[in-house]
Chain A
Amino acid sequence: MSNKKELIISKIRDGIVIDHIPAGRALLVLRILGITGREGFRVALVMNVESHKLGVKDIVKVEGRELTRDELNLVALVAPTATVNIIRNYDVVSKFKVVVPDVIEGLIKCKNPRCITNQQREPVKSRFRVVSREPLKLVCDYCGTIHELSDIERSLGIA
């Protein structure tokens, strides 16, 4: 990281840094990870900073919370360019690029109102299979309805 960015946010001791988020999507990344800010651990956001790769980008730092690789891969739905750095004692111990998982459970609402996953009082979570990553295309495992990026963004309250 350049000195300029360090002026904005200091290094974290233990946690994760999600870098290379498309500019303006950091809040969505937090929403996908289920982080509201009320949990108590430290969260830092940087938005619209210069990036060699992207021109401008966002960065999210979360200190003191473990996230599984599966949870982190969900970030790829809204930030396909994101990279994750796992930090232990100020050092990067692992780094990976997020990839959209094969199955996405619970996160997105099916757009078909007649789908079983949209019925109240039934103990069922939404489940989508990813049939294409570029362009992103998911199929509801219950009703077969095709969902594209715009549907997913609408479901997450982005569009």
Chain B
Amino acid sequence: MGWLGRDVITVLDFTREDLEVLFTEALNMEKYAKSRLNILNGKVLALAFFEPSTRTRLSFETAMLRLGGSVIGFSGVEATSMAKGENLADTIRMLDAYADAIVIRHSIEGAAKFAAEIAASPVINAGDGSQNHPTQAMLDLYTIWREFSTIDGLSIGILGDLRYARVVNSLIQALSYYRVRLHLISPEPLKPRRELIEFMNSRGMVYDWTDDPYRVINDVDVLYVVRIQRERFPDPMEYERVRGTYKVDLKLIEKAKPQMVILHPLPRVDEIDFAVDNTHHAKYFKQAGLGVPLRMALLKLVLGGES
């Protein structure tokens, strides 16, 4: 179906071919990620961040500015009319009138889909509750593709909060388009939700689960680490019981394949030891950097910029 004018709510709205078009475009955009390409002159992107964000918001903003467009928006609801009680629907209608596309992050699940039903302009989901974060998953796959020149055939370990982390949900959806072997690693209480397990089964994905990263570290090509999503725990006691239960350190990666790469959507808390940053395995800062060309490509494709 292509990208032009489309909403980006989940990875599953797109095909493997769509993703590959995006990756090719992102590779092209890497040349311009530190310069300016005036292909979205006069276009306005609205950033509606109802939840905190550093990388996603700033990389969307940077991407739009590098493409010659402009950005409006807010981060947090304190300075907006939502602090006066305005609802999401009315806020989206207003942004829809002002901007050519809307990027939304919200703590409520389904908020982006609802916004897309209201707005005539394309809506891009930058994270809704524990459910989806499609552009992060696109970036994750792009980073893997840049590292290995392929995604098919790789063994991918996903370590951490598999229950509440939306990036895990979107990443696994995206990986379902490829022939990969998945090792899911988490403490027992943070095992994937039933919805995700049923999804993997319905797609015939090859996966296993363990609570011990040492059991699979020597098999993985990619170790994808996520933090425990403290803010999504219904019960703070439950969070206290699982915090600090896993950590990627030099001892663990001693047993890894030489070409193994470690990715992390960031922010990191304490699940990756700082000493790991200096190893050749650590690619999470490179991954964050690729967020700009990847989102430049996405905005170009959705908003129809000609280069």
Contact = CB atoms under 8 A, between A and B. Distances in A.
A123 B114 CA distance: 9
Determine chain A's interface SS by DSSP, over half rule.
Answer: loop
A119 B108 CA distance: 9
A117 B110 CA distance: 8
B88 interface: yes
Contacts of A115: 108-110
Interface in A110-136: 112, 114-117, 119, 121-124
A141 B194 CA distance: 16
Given A121-B87, A122-B88, A122-B89, A142 B113 contact: yes
A112 B108 CA distance: 10
Q: Which of A115, A117, A139, A146 has the most CB of B within 10 A?
A: A115
Given A114-B129, A123-B89, A142 B110 contact: yes
- For chain B, which range describes its interface: under 10, 10 to 19, 20 to 34, or 35 or more residues? 10 to 19
Contacts of A121: 85, 87
A116 B195 contact: no
B294 interface: no
A122 B108 CA distance: 12
A8 interface: no
B87 A143 contact: no
Given A115-B108, A117-B110, A119-B108, A143 B129 contact: yes
Nearest to B86: A121
- For chain A, which range describes its interface: under 10, 10 to 19, 20 to 34, or 35 or more residues? 10 to 19
A47 B108 CA distance: 43
A142 B109 contact: yes
A142 B129 CA distance: 11
A145 interface: yes
B136 interface: no
A143 B114 contact: no
Interface in A72-103: none
Contacts of B87: 121-123
Contact of A145 (B108, B114, B195): B195
A115 B109 CA distance: 5
B217 to A, nearest CB: 31
A115 B130 CA distance: 10
Interface in B9-31: none
Nearest to A146: B195
A143 B111 CA distance: 9
A18 interface: no
Given A145-B195, A146-B194, A146-B195, A116 B114 contact: yes
A140 interface: yes
Nearest to A123: B89
Nearest to A126: B110
A143 B89 contact: no
A141 B129 CA distance: 15
Contacts of B111: 116
A140 B194 contact: no
B155 interface: no
A24 interface: no
A106 interface: no
Nearest to A137: B198
Interface in B145-179: none
Contacts of B113: 116, 141-142
Interface of A: 112, 114-117, 119, 121-124, 139-146
22 contacts: A114-B107, A114-B109, A115-B109, A116-B88, A116-B109, A117-B110, A121-B87, A122-B87, A122-B114, A123-B87, A124-B89, A139-B195, A141-B113, A142-B110, A142-B113, A143-B110, A143-B131, A144-B109, A144-B131, A145-B195, A146-B194, A146-B198
Q: Which 6 A-B residue pairs are closest in the complex by CB-CB distance?
A: A142-B110, A143-B109, A116-B110, A143-B110, A116-B114, A121-B87
Given A122-B89, A140-B110, A142-B109, 4 more contacts: A114-B130, A122-B87, A122-B114, A143-B129
